[in-house]
Amino acid sequence: MAWSERDIPSQAGRTAIVTGGNGGLGLETARMLAAAGAHVVIAARNTAKAEAAATTIRAAVPAAKLELRPLDLSSLQSVGRFVSAWTEETRPLDLLINNAGIMAIPRTLSADGFEMQLATNHLGHFALTLGLVPALLQASSPRVVTVASGTHWGGSLHEDDLDGAKGYGPWGWYAQSKLCNLLFTAALDRRLRAADSPLAALAAHPGYAATDLQQVAPRQTGSAFGSAMMTAGNAMFAQSAAAGALPTVQAATDPSAEGGQYWGPRILGWIGAPALSARSGSAKDVALAERLWEVSEARTGCRLGALTR
């Protein structure tokens, strides 16, 4: 029987951070968790959009417990401020949903000098997760769910040119960042299992879901044709953002979901109810994941601390 919103167990008393919860998949994820009773923290760069998202969620879930916090994942300084503020409050954290992302944009460097898709989609979430592990370990059954993409199948880790200085393709570097999401999840899962940690790391992807994410690159390049093609594709082939968010929500809340798993739509990994999803050979490469971990540590300056209470 297909898993749906009706199957989300009560999240009363639990706290969830949803990065990029101001729109698209993140907004739907935040709405579902709030409807299940969770206290949801929307962590987003754009404060106005976050406030609009909160209004939208409260219209659907009047009793929603929501909190808005600024977070720019492309800036390690912003991530550090977010982690420091949370740590100072000594608040337990039950769920961390690493959802925010950008897609197929022209080559841009972050404030820290990293290619923007790698910085936002992977490095920012790497630093955020490692920084929040102590808070997660204060919760009874904590989980980290990182949102990847089916495009990771076409991705490779450009180890000698992570930032695209020698040659850059918007889609190639997007696929690289999504491959990084899965390599990170796998490497974190191995560390958690080795430590017999109560924390679980999972990944999910939305298949083809209609969100505003597809319009970011056409807007940045001024491509009316690209915008029209994305609009047409969404209308003809995509499922809704709510359907696309379901694999993430199941990974986060289903008691039967386990660390290391990767969830996505069941129909060709494209649309439909959530199911366990396949990943590429590169995404299962242990040595590659360990090299990425070392690079991520070097770039962010973050290290993983104790994994048990």
Tens digit of pLDDT for each residue in 161-200?
A: 999 999 999 999 999 999 999 999 999 999 999 999 999 9
What does the CA dihedral 294, 191, 145, 18 come to, rounded to 10 degrees? -70
pTM of the shown model:
0.91
pLDDT band for position 225 (cuts 50, 70, 90): very low
Domain ranges of the chain: 7-300
pLDDT tens for each residue of 113-130: 999 999 999 999 999 999
Task: Report the CATH number of the 7-300 domain.
Answer: 3.40.50.720
Just list the catalytic residues.
174
DSSP labels, 95-147: EEEE-----SPPP-B-TTSSBHHIIIIIIHHHHHHHHHHHHHTTSSS-EEEEE
The single residue listed with the structure tokens 């209609």 is: 210
